């Protein structure tokens, strides 16, 4: 379900209502059944809004009232079939697989109904703030297929032949469901390993005897007769017990048979980042209840403590040093981002020049005949497409300054340069992610420090008061 900004509302306000509902403490065990990715669960409205400001600055694209700001999905489970914590992990896995880790999201598990169900909201703006998630034809079907696949992998029921409905969750298949292709493959691997093959090659021969097609590469993969694609033997596909290394260990007797439990999923809150402090009074004025106030007070105490621990562990003993480190992190991220942009521009220019050179070369003979024909209208009509492509390529070369005094580069040299630039970009991307994470963390720490000192908007505070705040932050 797409969420729109609407007319006369800020992005944060547009998201606040939906987030308030799905994060209801009474439905989520006082917030224990909430997890998130690349955002604070209870400050997602602010962080989503910030990402869209960055998107607008980077792309120059203005978001109108009908623009989608986020997407909301619901995932329900058969009553009594799954516990709340597992349901939240499954919801987190669904969001991660469907968005491929490119979008921030929040997962809230509700336990107020007989059926446990998840609410998932993901930002429509990518983490790099350079693009957006766009709904495509059949996206809801793909999301359901991903959800069904994950549920089957965890041994849960799925809905058979679901029909669009707002009134109910359909008819559950229960114990009569057919095994999935991945389950069949796991059973086949187990059956072959029970025969105790002499070595790994013998194991592969036995799998081929079962009519599985084998593919070797970065991951071992199998395809059964009638299947469209291969299934890779990796943790995210079959579980940790069916990777190539695990299979080799089982053949060598260094590993026992799998217990049948699904691969461990990410625990909600694992590797939790420091979150922003919440303006409780502002939320109360917006209509938040006593339950929320109680939860938010505990949340703020925890995040304030984690903020102070971070400052101590990182040797930040005063406010000026915090400002200095935050400023340095922003500059570092800005520098890496600028270099990434330069590489992107260079790669695009390189690819475009390669394309034009190849086009020019392929259409040169036709254009030479056109010239010999005295630029005949009849000849042009018969070969207009090639003539236009040739002229466009020549115009591009003139634009780039390639003429008698400057020869065109060889395509082979351009491809070599492209490979070097692409390699640098791939290496730089890890630095980019680290710099972005450090900048976000320090910005959060500084925002929390400002709120602890009573300076929610530091830019609007007189310098004299700011000096007092800096002195108060001595640890």
pLDDT of 173 reads: 41
**Tokens at 367, concatenated:** 């254009």
Do 74 and 119 form a contact (C-beta atoms < 8 A)? yes
**Tokens at 219, concatenated:** 């991951």
pLDDT band at 310 (very low <50, low <70, confident <90, very high): confident
Cα(4)–Cα(66) distance, integer angstroms? 6
Q: Which residue matches tokens 């320090």?
A: 442
Domain boundaries, the chain: 2-176, 181-252, 288-475
Q: Over pLDDT 90: what percentage of the chain? A: 11
pLDDT band at 10 (very low <50, low <70, confident <90, very high): low
Q: What is the mean pLDDT of residues 310-334?
A: 89
pLDDT of 21 reads: 83
pLDDT band at 93 (very low <50, low <70, confident <90, very high): very high
Q: What is 45-66 written as a DSSP string? A: HHHHHHHHHHHHHHH-PPP-TT
pLDDT of 475 reads: 36
CATH number for the domain whose boundaries are 2-176: 3.30.930
The packing angle between helices 139-153 and 181-194, to 10°, is: 30
pLDDT band at 107 (very low <50, low <70, confident <90, very high): very high
Helices (H) then strands (E): counts for the chain = 14, 8
**Tokens at 412, concatenated:** 């082979």
Q: Which residue matches tokens 């694209």?
A: 61
For 12, residues 6+ apart whose C-beta sits below 8 A from its C-beta are 45, 46, 48, 49
Do 51 and 123 form a contact (C-beta atoms < 8 A)? yes
158 CB neighbour count, 10 Å cutoff? 20
3-state secondary structure of 316: coil
Cα(111)–Cα(115) distance, integer angstroms? 7
pLDDT of 92 reads: 93
Q: Is the pLDDT of residue 66 over 50?
A: yes
Structural Rg of the chain based on CA atoms: 29
**Tokens at 228, concatenated:** 């469209």
pLDDT of 94 reads: 93
Q: What is the mean pLDDT of residues 55-83?
A: 80
**Tokens at 384, concatenated:** 């207009």
**Tokens at 58, concatenated:** 């980077």
Residue 122, beta-bridge partner list: 71, 105
Q: Which is higher by pLDDT, 325 or 288? A: 325
Long-range contacts of 354-360 (CB under 8 A, 24+ apart): 354/411, 354/414, 354/415, 354/418, 356/392, 356/393, 356/396, 356/397, 357/393, 357/408, 357/409, 357/411, 357/414, 358/411, 359/389, 359/390, 359/392, 359/393, 360/390, 360/393, 360/394, 360/397
Do 376 and 370 form a contact (C-beta atoms < 8 A)? yes
**Strands annotated E in 196-355:** 213-215, 221-223, 231-232
Average pLDDT value over all residues in the chain: 79
**Tokens at 189, concatenated:** 């691997």
pLDDT band at 108 (very low <50, low <70, confident <90, very high): very high
End-to-end CA distance of the chain: 47
Of the candidate ranges 24-33, 172-181, 413-422, the one whose mean pLDDT is the lowest: 172-181
pLDDT of 121 reads: 93
Q: What is the mean pLDDT of residues 11-35?
A: 79
pLDDT tens, position by position, 179-215 = 677 888 888 898 888 888 888 988 998 888 788 889 8
**Tokens at 328, concatenated:** 């340095």
The secondary structure of residue 127, as a DSSP letter, is: T
49 CB neighbour count, 10 Å cutoff? 19
What is the fold of 288-475?
A: Helix Hairpins (1.10.287)
75 CB neighbour count, 10 Å cutoff? 21
pLDDT tens, position by position, 256-279 = 776 544 433 443 444 456 777 777
Per-residue exposure over 433-454, b if at least 16 CB sit within 10 Å of its own CB, e if not: eebbebbbbbebbbbbbbbbbe
Q: What is the mean pLDDT of residues 386-412?
A: 84
pLDDT of 457 reads: 46
Q: What is the mean pLDDT of residues 206-232?
A: 85
> Closest Cα partner for 112 from 81, 76, 141?
76
pLDDT of 64 reads: 64
195 CB neighbour count, 10 Å cutoff? 9
pLDDT of 120 reads: 94
3-state secondary structure of 120: strand
pLDDT of 275 reads: 74
Strands 34-37 and 105-110: what pairing? antiparallel
Q: What is the mean pLDDT of residues 335-342?
A: 88
Q: Is the pLDDT of residue 373 over 50?
A: yes
Q: What is the pTM of this model?
A: 0.41
pLDDT of 468 reads: 44
Q: Is the pLDDT of residue 91 over 90?
A: yes
Q: Which is higher by pLDDT, 52 or 122? A: 122
Do 27 and 289 form a contact (C-beta atoms < 8 A)? no
């Amino acid at each position: 379900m797409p969420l729109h900004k609407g007319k006369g509302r800020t992005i944060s306000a547009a998201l606040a209502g939906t987030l308030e509902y799905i994060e209801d403490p009474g439905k989520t065990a006082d917030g224990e059944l909430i997890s998130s990715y690349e955002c604070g669960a209870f400050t997602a409205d602010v962080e989503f809004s910030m990402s869209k400001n960055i998107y607008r600055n980077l792309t120059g694209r203005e978001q109108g009232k009908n623009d989608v700001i986020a997407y909301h999905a619901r995932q329900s489970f058969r009553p009594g079939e799954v516990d709340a914590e597992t349901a939240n992990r499954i919801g987190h896995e669904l969001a991660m697989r469907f968005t491929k880790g490119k979008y921030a999201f929040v997962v809230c598990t509700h336990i107020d109904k007989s059926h446990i169900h998840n609410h998932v909201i993901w930002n429509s703006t990518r983490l790099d703030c350079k693009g957006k998630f766009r709904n495509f034809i059949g996206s809801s079907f793909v999301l359901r297929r991903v959800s069904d696949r994950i549920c089957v992998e965890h041994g849960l029921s799925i809905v058979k032949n679901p029909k669009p409905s707002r009134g109910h969750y359909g008819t559950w298949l229960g114990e009569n469901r057919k095994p999935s292709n991945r389950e069949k493959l796991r059973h086949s691997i187990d059956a072959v390993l029970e025969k105790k093959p002499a070595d790994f090659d013998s194991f592969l021969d036995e799998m081929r005897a079962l009519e599985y097609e084998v593919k070797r590469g970065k991951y071992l993969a199998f395809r059964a007769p009638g299947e469209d694609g291969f299934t890779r033997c990796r943790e995210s596909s079959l579980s940790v017990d069916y990777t190539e290394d695990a299979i080799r260990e089982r053949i060598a007797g260094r590993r026992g048979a799998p217990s049948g439990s699904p691969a461990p999923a990410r625990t909600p809150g694992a590797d939790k980042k420091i979150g922003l402090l919440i303006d409780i009074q502002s939320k109360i004025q917006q209509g938040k209840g006593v339950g929320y106030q109680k939860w938010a007070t505990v949340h703020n105490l925890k995040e304030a403590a984690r903020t102070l621990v971070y400052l101590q562990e990182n040797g930040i003993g005063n406010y000026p040093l915090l400002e200095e480190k935050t400023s340095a992190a922003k500059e570092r991220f800005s520098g890496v981002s600028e270099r990434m942009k330069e590489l992107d521009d260079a790669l695009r220019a390189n690819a475009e020049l390669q394309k034009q050179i190849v086009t020019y070369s392929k259409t040169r003979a036709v254009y030479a005949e056109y010239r010999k024909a005295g630029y005949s209208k009849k000849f042009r009509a018969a070969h207009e497409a090639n003539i236009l492509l040739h002229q466009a390529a020549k115009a591009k070369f003139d634009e780039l300054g390639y003429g008698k005094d400057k020869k065109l580069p060889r395509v082979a040299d351009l491809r070599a340069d492209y490979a070097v630039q692409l390699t640098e970009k791939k290496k730089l991307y890890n630095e980019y992610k680290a710099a972005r994470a450090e900048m976000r963390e320090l910005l959060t720490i500084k925002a929390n420090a400002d709120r602890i000192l009573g300076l929610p908007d530091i830019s609007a505070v007189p310098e004299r008061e700011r000096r007092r705040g800096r002195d108060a932050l001595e640890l």
